[in-house]
Amino acid sequence: MTTINYSVVNDWGVGFTANVAITNTGSSLNGWTFSFDAPFEITNLWNAEIVSRQGSRYTIRNASWNGSLANNGTVSFGFNGSKAISASATPSNYAFNGAPISTTPTTPTAPVTPPTIAIGDVSMVEGSSGTTSVNFEVSLSKAFDKSVTVQYTTANGTAIAGSDYVAKSGTVTFAAGETRKTVSIAVNGDTAVEADETFQVRLSSPTNATIADSTGVGTIRNDDAAPTVLPQINIGDVALNEGNSGTTSANFGVSLSKAFNQPVTVQYTTANGTAIAGSDYVAKSGTVTFAAGETFKTVSVAVNGDTAVEANETFQVRLSSPTNASIGDGTGVGTIRNDDAAIAIPQITIGDLSVTEGNSGTSNATLTVRLSSGSSQTVRVNYATVAGSALAGSDYTAVSGTLSFAAGQTTQTITVPIIGNTLTESTETFKVVLSSPLNGAIADGEATVTILDNDATVSAGKFNYGDALGKSFLFYEAQRSGKLPADNRVPWRGDSALNDGKDVGVDLTGGYYDAGDHVKFGFPMASAMTMLSWGVVEYRDGYSSSGQLSEALEAIKWGTDYILKAHTAPNEFYGQVGLGDVDHAYWGPPETMTMARPAFKITAQNPGSDLAGEAAAALASASIAFRSTDQAYADRLLNHAIQLYNFADTYRGKYSDSIPDAAKFYNSYSGYNDELVWGAIWLHEAIEAKGSTDTTYLNKAESYYQGIPTNWTQSWDNKANGAAVLLAQETGKARYKTDVENWLNHWSDKSGNGVKYTSGGLAWLDQWGSLRYSANTALLAGIYSDTVNDINGRYSNFSNSQINYILGDNPNSRSYVVGFGNNSPKNPHHRAAHGSTTNNINDPVNNRHLLTGALVGGPSAANDYAYSDDRTNYITNEVALDYNAGFTGALARMQEKFGQPNSSQTLASGSNLLTANTLPK
């Protein structure tokens, strides 16, 4: 047997607190449930748990500590409920441990309907000074036997707190039985003529009552008379003949629109138009004063006579700073009419010119400007260059100025420096335009300057790009972490880091080591996978013709498989394995490392929009690369990409704030907005590649886009430049094309106004890994020139020249790719390739193994010779995932443009070279 005692402890109309006491009058129980029908909703429960709710029927069970109930034992639980004000707080149809029971619950006191609170409106005259109280009446609909309170606060309408009234907030308290209270608000008086204004007193948070009318409107009535209308001051225009000598007065009439009972003043001053003070008229300034009742005055300005034949000229008299009036027409125009006999005016002409650009330095384009006849006066004309297909800064140096012809002189010259280069490009033109002649007239004022290209047309590439492309994938194989595949082509690498993720119970083996160290940094790894995938998406034919498409897809899949592993829940992603400082204290191959390698993640509570957004971009771009060969894998990548992007977009924050160790090595300097644009546009491309026309993610990308940094470029941190290229490709909109072209013009500008250049032609941005920036920009410039716009071959030539520089077309004839070309690096900063067994960066002296295909950092300054093949120099000789990623795509482009399909024999010989175990002696 069981007794149920239900009681309502407190009832406030729309809510209540209840207590349930269960007494066991039978044998001992080990766990219990209690079911009932409720005309209310339980909002908070204590000392028990809700098992289920089916419609209005609740089932409650014991908590973990009160399930045992001995004979005659009692257990209690309580809850808060919400209900309609007229509804009952009493449950019915009890069942205990599934068996119906009948009992008479304690009937609660019938709820008392609380009073309602209302506030009235008020209207009052503001007054001219000080403050006046406006009293709002707050009332209860009926007396109540409990204290009633309600909070209030003022709110602006057309009246503004501080200037029109004094803001106020507080609490109104009604003692039991009271029904009227007053809230007083101070209104500021003034003498300004204005419309009636309003503000509000708003009620909120009542106790023991409900609000019927929550807003009282206070109307402040204006009681100020309109001011006297001031007169307007106007000045008229004047025209007169100048005369041949001396001065003549130009008299400007200054008038009031009406007489006024007080003095009126206004200041005046002359101003040049085509007439010049000193030569054409005498400058003057002063004050005009109207006595009370006066309405007209005169300002006289002296005009100088001459015998020069010239056009009519003008100057102005301008009014300002009136007192007791306003200005209507404040400018009087004085026209000086020429009264001298005309003489012949020489005609000014400029001729077109063609010039050869040269290969380096500058040459000059010298244009001749001629007068049709000599003049007895000095003749002047302005000139300026105007860009056409030739651009100032990269093709020529902009000039402007004024030519002066002395009396009798008929020719002058304009010199424009032409900037030479070795790029193969089409003929380019710009203009020199004449303007603003003095003592002459322009007959032909525009000259076209044609820059003739003198560089041989490149019909084939300078290097075996397919060979370089194949070698680049050996670098990625050398960076692999985890259990290596049976077809591993780098024999000096073995299995490593097989316990990654065990500290968090997740399999995080696989993926890529970041650089010469063995931390797995998720941010640059994901960025590298995106750039690798982009190369395949754009230049698949280049990969195919070189026999490297399968290698490219394998390299991408090794990274994306790891990203899929790291995405352990919709709003969870592991962004790092290993501690940077701990890892960097070890110098040896990954197969023998023993340090702890903790895993770090981002979550909804510790977000990383940049990391999740980049991971989404990596998977989305890879899904496009795999779409034609492995549709199931492509779909899996796309599904995870969508989840990751929604995680990034919903829970905003920088990943380097959530994973502090990453901030020491790959801090998110650019924030996460660029990754939100980057991830969204890649998702749009991936969904489009699947056949959908949905533009949700394109719309997001466009709405989040904030422009791009002209003086930076695509990197593991900043994706804005790449996003702009994709948006220009997808939409063709001028906004994105202008941004991209301004940026690429800055990078291809050798005049000194753009990015720095070495004398050998390397576009140099920053000392740390300078070649990665050049390679990334080369890839994006190539993509843009091939798919959107290429101004006279400028962007494609830039792209070609940077890749050729890296491969050996430089003053040192040095390849910066390990194992490729002439004089390539032998000792990159890389622990595994060095192969030390003594934890010593200097032992052995030379690297044991060849890190084939790795792109090293490159020159540490804008100097072709600022590089040394020194293992300890991690600025110039570091290697990293992101160094090779854009470079690999750019190589595929060069192969597609200039290479020939590799034969199976070439591929076989290349493979043998690629897998060389040690450096040649």
Cite the active site residues. Answer: 829, 869, 878
R_g of the chain computed on alpha carbons: 42
Q: Is the peptide bond before 844 cis (omega within 30 degrees of 0)?
A: yes
Nearest by Cα to 459 from 15, 900, 766, 120: 900
Phi and psi at residue 49, to the nearest 5°: -130, 145
One-letter amino acid for residue 599 of the chain: A
Instruction: Reduce the DSSP state of residue 96 to 3 states and report it.
Output: strand
Q: Six-digit token pair at 820?
A: 């490729």
Within 13 Å of residue 532, how many CA atoms lie on the same side as its CB?
33
Q: Six-digit token pair at 475?
A: 């670098």
For residues 842 and 588, the answer to whether their CB atoms sit within 8 Å is no
Helix, strand, coil share (%) of the chain residues, nearest 5: 25, 30, 45
Nearest by Cα to 614 from 550, 508, 542, 529: 529
For residues 359 and 455, the answer to whether their CB atoms sit within 8 Å is yes
H/E stretch holding 218? strand 215-221
H/E stretch holding 181? strand 180-188
User: 10 Å Cβ neighbour count for 268?
Assistant: 23
Within 8 A by CB and 6+ apart from 55, the residues are none
Burial of 679 (0-12, 13-18, 19+ CB in 10 A): buried
H/E stretch holding 757? strand 756-757
Rounded CA separation 921/914 (Å): 16
Rounded CA separation 23/42 (Å): 22
Instruction: Reduce the DSSP state of residue 319 to 3 states and report it.
Output: strand
Q: Is the peptide bond before 231 cis (omega within 30 degrees of 0)?
A: no
Nearest by Cα to 91 from 7, 3, 14: 7
Please give the full DSSP string across 725-738, using - where no structure is assigned.
Answer: HHHHHHH--HHHHH
